[in-house]
A and B are shown apart, each in its own frame.
Chain A
Amino acid sequence: AQSVTQLGSHVSVSEGALVLLRCNYSSSVPPYLFWYVQYPNQGLQLLLKYTSAATLVKGINGFEAEFKKSETSFHLTKPSAHMSDAAEYFCAVSEGGAQDTGRRALTFGSGTRLQVQP
């Protein structure tokens, strides 16, 4: 079974500072991993995805994440925070992963709310 742990339900950074949102996963198969962003009362928008190609994945809005198999981690980073980055961020793992088995549903972490201080 898959699971996702996001350390820190709330993270606060200053504008221009480094953003680091942590995600650790467990998976019985080679995983597909995702980061989504959610603004208040909206759906989820994909930031980036890891699907067993390059371990350093670049996404939209200057975000990137690195897949580290030995640490079972997929942390999200951005070198310089902007006020518009304030939102909730979800890490997710695809059930069945690269083997494409089972439900193909996503298992989500509980989310990290990012605040950006001026």
Chain B
Amino acid sequence: DGGITQSPKYLFRKEGQNVTLSCEQNLNHDAMYWYRQDPGQGLRLIYYSQIVNDFQKGDIAEGYSVSREKKESFPLTVTSAQKNPTAFYLCASSMGPGEQFFGPGTRLTVL
């Protein structure tokens, strides 16, 4: 079955710790995206990549980093510089300007 997988489903981070969220897709999509979801605020764009080995900052990139070494993978690292990382993180992919397909999400909680 084609789709997007995210792992882990739940993640806990201690103060000052970096953590990495995994996102894999087997849809053969060129573009991949990371969004952050907070209650009552909809989704906000963190980073995006339209092609392998290239990525761009979104609207709230501070404290986050990404890589795109393979077409199917787009991991997100939440660094210690992100002061309020507790949120639900969603990965998406698309082919062209149409709909985006979303993964099941990772809920990150800071202890």
Contact = CB atoms under 8 A, between A and B. Distances in A.
Does A pair with B? yes
Interface of A: 4, 9, 32, 34, 36, 41-46, 49, 51, 90, 94, 96-98, 100, 103-106, 108-111
B45 A105 contact: yes
B2 interface: no
B103 A43 contact: yes
A104 B94 contact: yes
B95 to A, nearest CB: 10
Contacts of A94: 97-98
Contact of A104 (B50, B90, B104): B50
Contacts of A42: 104-105
B43 interface: yes
Contacts of A103: 45, 48, 50, 56, 58
Contacts, number: 66
Contacts of B42: 4, 90, 108-111
Contact of B43 (A32, A104, A108): A108
Interface in B6-47: 6, 31, 33, 40-45
Interface in B91-111: 92, 94, 96-105, 107
A90 B92 CA distance: 15
A43 B50 contact: no
B98 A49 contact: yes
Nearest to A110: B42
A41 B98 contact: no
B16 to A, nearest CB: 27
A100 B97 contact: yes
A46 B31 CA distance: 17
9 contacts: A32-B97, A41-B107, A42-B104, A43-B4, A44-B102, A46-B101, A94-B98, A104-B97, A111-B42
Contact of A49 (B99, B105, B107): B99
A32 B98 contact: yes
Contacts of B94: 104
Nearest to B38: A110
